[in-house]
Amino acid sequence: MAKNMTLLWCTGSCPCWRAMIALEEKNLQGYNHQLLSFDKMEHKSQQVLDINPRGQFPTFKHGDNVVNESYAICFYLESQFKSQGNKLIPDGPEEQALMYQRMFEGLTFYDKLGNVIYYDWYVPEGERHDSALKRNKDALVAELGLWEGYLSKQGSGSFLAGKTFSLADVVVFPTVAFLFRFGLSAGRYPKLEEYYALLKDRPSIKASRPPHWLEGPEEELLLKEI
Amino acid sequence: MAKNMTLLWCTGSCPCWRAMIALEEKNLQGYNHQLLSFDKMEHKSQQVLDINPRGQFPTFKHGDNVVNESYAICFYLESQFKSQGNKLIPDGPEEQALMYQRMFEGLTFYDKLGNVIYYDWYVPEGERHDSALKRNKDALVAELGLWEGYLSKQGSGSFLAGKTFSLADVVVFPTVAFLFRFGLSAGRYPKLEEYYALLKDRPSIKASRPPHWLEGPEEELLLKEI
């Protein structure tokens, strides 16, 4: 069905998961894919670099068209397969405005998550400061407050941009799932928990969940005090 | 013409400039706008916070629809005013793939620029490290190499996604203009210079250039050795 598509990916990557949810939503199952290892530095392998000079996952090709950035993959697939699978951009101006706004706020959300859970990975040992990590945690708490507010305003059972699942959910859901994977308190963030529960078993999401999550929980619940 | 639109902005912001270029390209001149001061912290004023809980520029409203993220504004305007002004998303799959890919790489490009020119602004004094700033500069040099390569491959006189000006140019051009504003060497980056020259007097870009740039050059040419 999608034999002329190739995805090189790794497990436990929000950007890869976004791309894979979009592929599922557009009924593009059956694409060629190869699960590579980030730990073994396979994102810097020649196979990846030949398609993606940045040496990153995901790396994606449709025919001769290379689209590697996860948001770009989402937009490209929705545009090229508009009438196939689920429609991911709503028609109404109001829903569209909200969808685009939440999609791009989603990048900030993901950054703020990453600045906490990947702090030691991003920052070399001699450059780490407790004050910086504390600031990053405070920024994540403020960010979580915004999203609790957005979801609260939308009301129960709603998606990020209204009554239908959209690209905003495709790109933001993985961030929410990572939050709970890393120990976020459902009690302190009930709207995010409700949103997570609403979507976690959606077929596109279930089919593309990071496979290593099946092996067990995270060892370090870095967000449990947040 | 665009009386039901309001933009709150500041001079010298790439995100604001992106939004303003898009408004010009879609023939949406005549929108309400207010030039506020970042230095005076007016992005945290009640006027901004009422529309934009993040307290950031740009802050944008069309009727009751709030769209503050610059990329979101671009997508929203192109979608809502598809047949007005210049068409900013090409039809062909190949051009679309390239456009989306370059747009989202543009966020990384802008981040890498910001990690150098705004380093002292982002990082509190006691947390600064020469090793970090050097790494950021090296990352910017590598990034510049990628874009030189992309433009070289496209050929002279080409836009980022091919023969026509697109959303990729709307969002990436301000970054390129900032590079040269902060002293980037045209000799070392000839393709970026050529691209800059191709676009700098385009009406949409000229009409929206940061007004304080007319007052004189930057005092610190932070990129002149890059």
Measured distance CA(B173)–CA(B17) in Å, rounded: 9
pLDDT of A219 reads 83
Q: Please report the ipTM that was assigned to this predicted complex.
A: 0.97
- C-alpha neighbours within 13 Å on the C-beta side of residue A123: 19
Nearest CB partner across the interface for B97, out of A76, A101, A105: A76
pLDDT of B195 reads 98
- Contact of B26 with chain A, judged by CB distance below 8 Å, is answered with no
**DSSP secondary structure letter of residue A141:** H
Nearest CB partner across the interface for A66, out of B53, B62, B97: B97
Question: Which CA distances in Å does A132 have to B127, B128, B134?
Answer: 8, 11, 19
For B167-215, the pLDDT digits (tens) are 999 999 999 999 999 999 999 999 999 999 999 999 999 999 999 998 9
- Contact of A125 with chain B, judged by CB distance below 8 Å, is answered with no
Q: What is the mean pLDDT of residues A189-213?
A: 97
**DSSP secondary structure letter of residue A213:** G
- Contact of B134 with chain A, judged by CB distance below 8 Å, is answered with no
Ranges in chain B, pLDDT < 70: 1
- CB-CB under 8 Å, A105 with B107: no
pLDDT of B1 reads 58
Q: Closest by alpha carbon to A190, among A159, A152, A143?
A: A152
Within 8 A of A100 by CB-CB distance, chain B residues are 67, 69, 71-73, 75-76
pLDDT category at A1 given cuts 50, 70, 90 is low
pLDDT of B220 reads 87
For B147-157, the pLDDT digits (tens) are 999 999 998 89
Q: What is the mean pLDDT of residues A85-110?
A: 98
Question: Which CA distances in Å does B198 have to B160, B191, B193, B201, B212?
Answer: 11, 10, 9, 8, 22
**Looking at beta carbons, which pairs linking B147-150 to residues 24 or more positions away fall under 8 Å?**
B147/B109, B147/B191, B147/B192, B148/B189, B148/B190, B148/B191, B148/B192, B149/A53, B150/B102
- CB-CB under 8 Å, A68 with B101: yes
Within 8 A of A107 by CB-CB distance, chain B residues are 107
Question: Which CA distances in Å does B203 have to A67, A155, B193, B209?
Answer: 30, 44, 18, 10
Within 8 A of A66 by CB-CB distance, chain B residues are 97, 101
pLDDT of A4 reads 95
pLDDT of B2 reads 81
- Contact of B79 with chain A, judged by CB distance below 8 Å, is answered with yes
Write down all domains in chain B, each with its CATH number in brackets.
5-80 (3.40.30.10), 93-215 (1.20.1050.10)
Over chain B, what HEC string results?
CCCCEEEEECCCCHHHHHHHHHHHHCCCCCCEEEECCCCCCHHHCHHHHCCCCCCCCCEEEECCEECCCHHHHHHHHHHHCCCCCCCCCCCCHHHHHHHHHHHHHHHHHHHHHHHHHCHHHHCCHHHCCHHHHHHHHHHHHHHHHHHHHHHHHHCCCCECCECCCCHHHHHHHHHHHHHHHCCCCCCCCHHHHHHHHHHCCCHHHHCCCCHHHHHCCCCCCCCCCC
For A118-144, the pLDDT digits (tens) are 999 999 999 999 999 999 999 999 999
Nearest CB partner across the interface for A100, out of B53, B75, B94: B75
pLDDT of B7 reads 98
pLDDT category at A2 given cuts 50, 70, 90 is confident
- C-alpha neighbours within 13 Å on the C-beta side of residue A105: 24
Measured distance CA(B132)–CA(B109) in Å, rounded: 17
Sheet strands side by side (includes B5-9): B32-35, B5-9, B59-62, B65-66
